Structure 1
Amino acid sequence: MALSDFYATHASYRTRIVLNPRDSKDVIGAAAAALYLIKNVQVQAIIGPHTSMQANFLINLGNKSQVPIISFSATSPSLTFLRSPYFFRATQNDSSKVKAISTIVVAFGWREAVPIYIDDEFGEGIIPYLTDALQGINVRVPYRSVIPSPASDDQISEELYKLLTMQTRVFIVHMPPSLGTRLFALAKEVGMMSEGYVWIVTDGMTNLWSLTNPPTIDSMQGVLGVRTYFPGTNELENFKVRWKRKFQQDNPTIINAELNIFGPWAYDATFALAMAIENVSMGNFSFNKTNVSSSGTDLESLGVSQNGPQLIQALSSTKFRGLTGDINFVNGQLQSPVFQIVNVNGNGERRVGFWTPKSGLVKELNLANRSTNSTHKPNLGPIIWPGDTISPPKGWKIPTNEKKLRIGVPVNGGFSEFVKVTWDPNSHTAASVTGYCIDVFYAVMVAMPYVVTYEFIPFATPDGKSAGTYDDLIFQVYNGTYDAVVGDTTIVANRSQYVDFTLPYIESGVSMFVPIRDNRRKNAWVFLKPLTWDLWLTSACFFLFIGFVVWRVVSNLARFVVIIWCFVVLILTQSYTASLTSLLTVQQLQPTVTYIQELLKKEKKVGFLKGSFIEGILKGRFRFPESQLIEYQSPEELHDLFTKGSANGGVAATLNEIPYMKLFLAKYWFKYTAVEPKLRTNGFGFVFPRGSPLVADVFKAVLNVTQGDKMNQIE
């Protein structure tokens, strides 16, 4: 049809394409057919093959013989890596659709997704691009589900049950319909097409949905699909009608046949080749033979087409408006198209929007006026999700094999106001977990949009002692021992490399605290210190002089002098009072140490809270040796160390976080004060595994709690 249409409208062209069809049912058949056509028929170009696996060998064959290979159905991105100038893809590269898929994922706020793909060239080719696109928007790919092409129903069901035990509920399916329809039928059987699940399929299936039967469509209710969009032109509709009529004439026993998307692509590929051949002066259609021995293989005896270089240049410069849109090869590839977003509902599909490279997700397509829209909002029509619900799934669920979140809590006997673990003396298990951090967590769980079940597990040894540092506790989340950590855990940069923190629920910081030196004057003449001896003597002389004037002279002038003197005395009295107060109070607030370098230079001891990250700061940033550091566990122990002093086995200063020291100063406010350095930290936060879907919701809940009245009640 393509050739007859082309030459009917280009009757003046001096060239004609003669087809030499060969049926290639598999990879070996495609290779044998291509070898025969190039060696024996000496074809100038090959339109095909059908699959990406077949194309892999044929591209190398075309490159060796300089015969252009034009495929309208081989979509694997891995074919691009062959970098053959003789390969032209007259269809869309699978990598072009990953941006549309990732935009859908981020628009609905899903934080994890699992690709499910067939184990062959077609399936594996898209995965690196899809993974990179998802990771580029901070979406984790915790698992890749690979389905072998000849997989039995039992093998597919086994893989689905494995997915069922995971928390991720967003699945991206990339496989042909023959395998995909079986996958969805079995997914429905195991309960994975119910509410809460998200299924996104690529055009490997959406392009052929019209060929599936009603039972298959019934098992795919709620699925979202990404499909290449073709403008609905009169030429395309007319071609479909003519094709159906001709197909019915040639195949009278086949009823209701529908043209799939590869038909228009094959039509345009044929047009492109016919145009290119016309633009090349092809006077000689022979091949240059290579000299090989009689024992040489068929590959070694292949000739080289003399017209190949000119033909690929003509194909690269060919531009026209085809049935599928604008045809223009750039490095042998068509440009990124517009994609439809479709939703399986009822007996078929329903279009809910589009994705364009410039505008992202849009509900309606306006090719004449494209504007950049935010890709972070689901700008789509109503979607019916699996389970016949219109509420977007949150994209995850607590796994079926784990009923409660295992939440680790620190065991800190000293500052128990934050977290306190009470042990049962008989069973030696935790009877209760209380404290400020626990109360905040309770309030956050109440503010969550759904119920989360959990249990507290103290990070302790069998005898009830702490099992390690705070870094050790947080690492238990990284290695999967705990699902989260709740406690006085500080948000620190190096910890964020392997876990995720929520929004801080208490402000923090690090400062140095030292004892106060008592410099108050102990003698009885301290009242003379506010004024200098010169000022005392001058004041006494003026008292005598004013007294003499008042006593000897009784007049208005004497009264005026007395008024001025009273004003001077008032000022003098106020200055004296202020100076004396300063001597008796301010001098007693002087710290014993003012700079941390002074401690290092004088080799004085410094204390730090046992198990905290402060030890690393003292050793790494300030270069304190181990011999100058002493750990403590409680406010009382720190006070005892200060009382002893550095020379007697105690400490001269401590570096600690401000929340802890607020509790310390509440008991000993009159003996200690804060001095430089003062370091910023991000406060206390709850700990979750990297990429946990809980983090986003807990983040919002923490924000609601910290900005509400509940936080004041807890404090």
Structure 2
Amino acid sequence: MVGVKTYFPENTPEFSHFRKRFRQKFDSNYPEEEQDEPGIFAVQGYNAVKLLQKYLTENIQEWKPIHEPTVEIVSVIGKKYNSVYWTEGLGFSDDINGASVYTHSMHNVGRSLWPVQPWYAHRRRRMNQEKTSGKRMKVAVPCTSLFPEFVKCEDSIDGFVIKVFDEMMTKMNQPYDAIPFYGTYDQLMEEVYSEKYDAAAGDVTITEKRQESVIFTQPYTESGLEMIVPVRSGSSNQSWLFLKPFTSGMWRLIVAITIYNGFVIWLIERSHDKNLQGSIITQIGIILWLAFSSLFTLRGDKMHSNLSRMAVVVWLFVALVIIQSYTASLASMLTTPKLEPTITSVDMLKNMNATVGYCNGSSIYDYLKVVLGFEDLKISSYNSTDGYAEALNSREIAAIFLEVPAAKVFLAKYCKSFIRTGETFKVGGFGFAFGSRFSRLLDANKALTNISESRKLKELEDEYLNSGKCVDEEPEENQSLNCHSFWVLFVLTVGTSTIALSIYIIMRIIEFIKFKPKHINLFQLIAFIKVWQRRSRMRRSSTIVPNGEIEIQYTH
């Protein structure tokens, strides 16, 4: 639509002050009226009275003529509008200011009103529409698309984008021939601009630069650019999840230290308790029972040596810390969301000086460089989704950037290893490109709207974009606790048990030397140990005092 209205400057302090006073007065006199903006007649009346007040009295000689009348010509296109100005005696101009350039030919300013083509172009083409509507259009299809779900050029041309374009052209009753194109997307736009092709049907992103040479339909997909990064994940429904809080090395060390402490306790206490003796198999079972039962109870009343009590107290403290850590880690794995991005923002990428990836030949490169501020050396291009995945898994790149529909397809395929960060950057979305001579853009947009409202678009999305299966494997768990978190505690308990064992051995050696000072050999040592153990049991059974303490007497 094109309209004309009287022009007056609305952005001056004088007008802002006048509008404020006018609305206050108007609301006071007519409170039931909603439209309280001053019209052109109010402005003209106010200006006339203001001029009379200023020049009517003694300054009549300084009267200045009112500026030449100016009108604003407005062209409304969709939800946007453009303006040019016409001033009586001067002509047309793109702007009204002190440096305005005027011309008497509207062709020199028509680009401001109609940035695509002159005002008379559509009328001439509408007259020839009936003649040209039956002509088959040559439509280029980009066969270098990274995602075959959008465009696939194998035995035949197929894909989500092609099906949507075919539905649109069918509703427009416009025949066409699809022609494979193997160049870049920018080269494709140049071919459409040079009229080698009438249109381009592919996953082409709408950008300002491309709109300078071709015209686009409205986006037929969600618009936006998303950042995808690896995840830190863990699944709460695994059968062996209870082992995940600790690494395998941690579990092995816990078992080894537990058995070692059980052996020390058994060796020190066996001379005081006949229940700790027996066959080899029986004693092995007793060692294991002592080892793991000491994880949960002190059993101080059952022990007869301060050395074993000392070892058990320290091990029980260490075991308490380990058990509490295990419980907290397991609870976190069961309750914490299992898909967490390793990187959450573009600023984090820049602080890490990380490299990012994008689809080779797409318009994302300019956005990464100009808008997001990445350096050339930190931007890598890839030609396949597998290349994306391998680069992310190998840490060659820290993130990739994809349009929203492409990101959905990528994450549907690699659903366990990668995740979107939640930050979406505004870009144009996918649209169908036509040459500047195409006169049925309104019909094309109407057809796309009909496809969307009739659920046909949703059906095509389910068939081509949402039907993929996840092919990647579960990522390794990175939250398990390892030995480095508890090495001080392990050194403490092993050291305490070793000290107790050393003191016990030294005491036995001293006692043996005291009874057998000369001609000591291996057989005598073994015989002494057996006799000493038998005497110890006899003394323990015959020297129990009322207060429960053990009194040991040695006889020569």
TM-score range for the pair, normalised by the shorter chain length: 0.3 to 0.5
Bigger Rg over Cα: 2
Higher RCO, 1 vs 2 (CA within 8 Å, ≥6 residues apart): 2
Q: Which has the higher helix share?
A: 2
